[in-house]
Structure 1
């Protein structure tokens, strides 16, 4: 009976699992000044079911042309490149992403002046336009990358499921703190190394192994017995650190898609990493608060899901493992 219920739940959630496995990538626009009145525009928008997302980069009307040619698919996203003549420049004028207000993704806008000054702005469905100031500001770059890092981890369901699996597996609070700290240190190391170009690993295998790391934690949770502490529970920071190195490569892949501003690489990298950590801590805080609320409101239910071998704890572990296995197979098949 239990297996039938789990199978039925999986069939109901399968579309959601597939959607959550791959969140929409952000769009990216790079506007680079070649001469006082000439700008080179690189515009990349996400792919949606084999078609370009219905958004368009709109330069000020004083520029010729204000929009680019039809985009070409490069295997991952849709690309347009053109050169625009803007006799009045772009300072104190507005760049808009048409159609962004009806989408569920963001666009990172990078403006590079001929002097070398760079400004990076995050455009959202609520704020699809940007008034370009006369001088670029470092704080706008920091704020944009901080927000991008925060949103990336909250949209990265595989990373969050790994953290949740740690919460399920590790019953001792201080061991849990040690594991999350080790996970943080590890993915910060590989994120920095990969983003700065010192480490390069193909993305698809990394994503597949990330899914496999979640399967491993789910299996460990299923094998856990009351009164017995497994090696993964006794030294969880070792497991968290090892897999954290892989998750950092996954974060770096997203950051490579966004790009780093040449003039503020250190600030942008720090801000993105801080945003990832803030999002991770927010998720852990919400999960622990929910667990404490459940313990007070429904103590019997809370006791069941935290008891190794109990049907509730087993169902949760099977659920985690099923989702992660689906992602693993899906990602291997996409090689």
Structure 2
């Protein structure tokens, strides 16, 4: 029972996804001048909540964050302008060792009346870069960030994933030396992995649900293969704009997929013949969810296929890490015990299924 209690306590934080912290996205657009677009959770930055918290509710500054989140957009903008919080220091551009000067043009805070949902604001800045050939982007924000450097034609010459308080690799401002294939691949693998661990709680719980009914390699491989093939197909098709579904439809259905898998775990003690087919269909939905992330980040224009594959590899590595953790935590130790199903599989499936059901309600009725 202690093991079960530990598992439940581990899963319960996933239910508090309303204040999830997402990575920021910074785009530097080069041309006659230079423009910076910083897509960031301003409330978290103002409160000083870093990326070491997956959810703002777990941070000591949670009450401060909630106060900022309750503010209407115009009031939050006014607070930012009057607080002395220097938005020009969030993302800085360094050219041959000289920091460029930028000014804030606009702060756009979306109206989101459901206070349980985070909101990403966009800060637009403009400036003139010093003369030089090599640039670096310095990120001083509290959360992780995905950066994109576009040349004057709007083509990406550099993309990278950065931790908080860090700087990018050097990039050629003239675009004469585009980002290497190896750099693109490594960056997108990290982005894909991060979308599963630690940010992708809905995908994590779905994979855990698959594991619970099949804690042996054979049946689990069938399910994971079906899931992988499905989300690879829809990820590619959605990225190529062949298919598209709004997040308002995809996200609730992903939540229901978690609940369905867990209900089946409770009702049967073996993998049914139709289970891989059902998992494949749900994998199509999860692929559309992955595509939403890539839609925000964008793909490398020069290495489009490589960046798409690398993102998918990162996702798979994240899923394999989840499965490995499950095997090490309970699978290899207890799967052959007579009480395994009653003490581990059924209670854990009930908890995860209820979390999925709550997310469905949160994403539909409470949205």
The one of 310, 321, 324 equivalent to 1:285 is 324
The one of 286, 299, 303 equivalent to 2:338 is 303
Q: Using structure 2 for the length normalisation, give the TM-score.
A: 0.75
Assess, with a 3 A threshold, how the Cα gap between structure 1 residues 276 and 143 changes in structure 2: closer, same or farther: same
**What is aligned with 1:149?**
192
Contact 2:148–2:156 (CA<8 Å) still a contact in 1?
no
Q: RMSD value over aligned CA atoms? A: 3.0
Alignment of 1:106 with 2:144, yes or no, is yes
Moved over 4 A (4+): 12-15, 51-55, 61-64
**What is aligned with 2:41?**
46
Alignment of 1:140 with 2:140, yes or no, is no
Once the two structures are TM-superposed, the CA of residue 261 in structure 1 deviates from its matched residue by 2.7
Paired residues, what number? 309
Question: For residues 239 and 257 of structure 1, what CA distance do their matches in structure 2 show?
Answer: 28
SS in 2 for 1:108: strand
String of CA shifts for 1:148-185, please: whole Å, max 9, x gaps: 00111112111111111111123554222111100000
**What is aligned with 1:66?**
102
**What is aligned with 2:345?**
313
Once the two structures are TM-superposed, the CA of residue 283 in structure 1 deviates from its matched residue by 1.3
Question: For residues 216 and 92 of structure 1, what CA distance do their matches in structure 2 show?
Answer: 52
Q: Using structure 1 for the length normalisation, give the TM-score.
A: 0.81
SS in 1 for 2:171: coil
**What is aligned with 2:137?**
95
Alignment of 1:242 with 2:278, yes or no, is no
Question: For residues 277 and 156 of structure 2, what CA distance do their matches in structure 1 show?
Answer: 43
Question: For residues 311 and 121 of structure 1, what CA distance do their matches in structure 2 show?
Answer: 44
Question: For residues 174 and 83 of structure 1, what CA distance do their matches in structure 2 show?
Answer: 56
Assess, with a 3 A threshold, how the Cα gap between structure 1 residues 15 and 277 changes in structure 2: closer, same or farther: closer
Contact 2:92–2:100 (CA<8 Å) still a contact in 1?
no
Assess, with a 3 A threshold, how the Cα gap between structure 1 residues 201 and 136 changes in structure 2: closer, same or farther: same
Assess, with a 3 A threshold, how the Cα gap between structure 1 residues 196 and 22 changes in structure 2: closer, same or farther: farther
The runs of 5 or more residues in structure 2 that have no matched partner are 45-65, 70-75, 112-118
SS in 2 for 1:121: strand
String of CA shifts for 1:177-218, please: whole Å, max 9, x gaps: 111100000001111111221111010221111111111111
SS in 1 for 2:339: helix
The runs of 5 or more residues in structure 1 that have no matched partner are none
Greater CA deviation, 241-250 or 105-114? 105-114
Contact 1:40–1:84 (CA<8 Å) still a contact in 2?
yes
Alignment of 1:84 with 2:127, yes or no, is yes
Question: For residues 32 and 285 of structure 1, what CA distance do their matches in structure 2 show?
Answer: 41
Contact 2:93–2:136 (CA<8 Å) still a contact in 1?
yes
